[in-house]
């Protein structure tokens, strides 16, 4: 994060530094709650915050500053979901996964049934930092959300 803030300051002065701090805050808000709930590791949150520190440099590079971090968080969820589906297919666990999701929604919608919460399989965990890193490079060089027409914060 410190290096990102230094780079943002070097690239765009105090405005870049301010954007870098706001990018860190956006990263914490985007993924910090998932760490708090135990869904995501603290390292993944810190990685997004470190990329958020580059928001000041992104502003200079005409990447729309703070939305750089929001776009990165959103795209990393999409990339992470795709990688998770690939992992489920490779491990032969796609059908049981959808069965658990179906049973959850069935029991959530029917008041006569006891709610079945899907339990996470620890053998299927993957480091989310991979999704964040792939998305960071993708957003920096060619933001796919722009070409897809997805801009919920504009």
The per-residue pLDDT of the chain, averaged, comes to 89
Least confident of 37-51, 54-68, 102-116: 54-68
Q: What is the pLDDT of residue 141?
A: 87
Average the pLDDT over each of 5-14, 62-71, 86-95, 138-147 and give the range with the smallest value: 62-71
Average pLDDT over residues 83-112: 92
- Burial class from Cβ neighbours inside 10 Å (0-12, 13-18, 19+) for residue 147 reads exposed
Answer whether 79's CB lies under 8 Å from 134's CB.
yes
φ/ψ (deg, to 5) at 99: -65, -45
Domain boundaries, the chain: 2-148
- Structure tokens that stand for 105 in this block: 């929604």
Alpha carbon distance 96, 92 (integer Å):
9
Average pLDDT over residues 101-129: 88
pLDDT of 60 reads 62
**Chain centre to alpha carbon of residue 39:** 12
Give Cα separations from 46 to 1, 24, 28, 120 (angstroms): 8, 9, 8, 23
* pLDDT score of 121: 78
pTM of the model: 0.82
| Residue among 61, 46, 54 nearest 22 (CA) | 54
Residue 117 pLDDT? 86
| Whole-number pLDDT of residue 150 | 82
Give the tokens for residue 126. Answer: 């993957």
């Amino acid at each position: 994060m410190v290096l990102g803030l230094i780079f943002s300051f070097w690239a765009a002065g105090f405005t870049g530094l301010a954007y870098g701090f706001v990018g860190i805050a956006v990263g914490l808000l985007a993924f910090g709650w998932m760490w708090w709930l135990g869904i995501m590791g603290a390292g993944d949150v810190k990685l997004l915050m470190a990329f958020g520190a580059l928001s000041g440099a992104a502003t200079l590079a005409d990447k729309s500053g703070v939305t750089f971090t929001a776009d990165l968080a959103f795209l990393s969820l999409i990339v992470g979901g795709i990688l998770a589906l690939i992992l489920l297919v490779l491990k032969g666990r796609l059908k049981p996964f959808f069965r658990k999701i179906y049973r959850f929604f069935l029991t959530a919608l029917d008041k006569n049934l006891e709610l079945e919460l899907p339990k996470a399989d620890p053998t299927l965990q993957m480091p989310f930092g991979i999704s964040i890193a792939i998305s960071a490079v993708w957003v920096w060089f060619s933001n796919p959300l722009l070409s897809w027409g997805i801009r919920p914060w504009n």
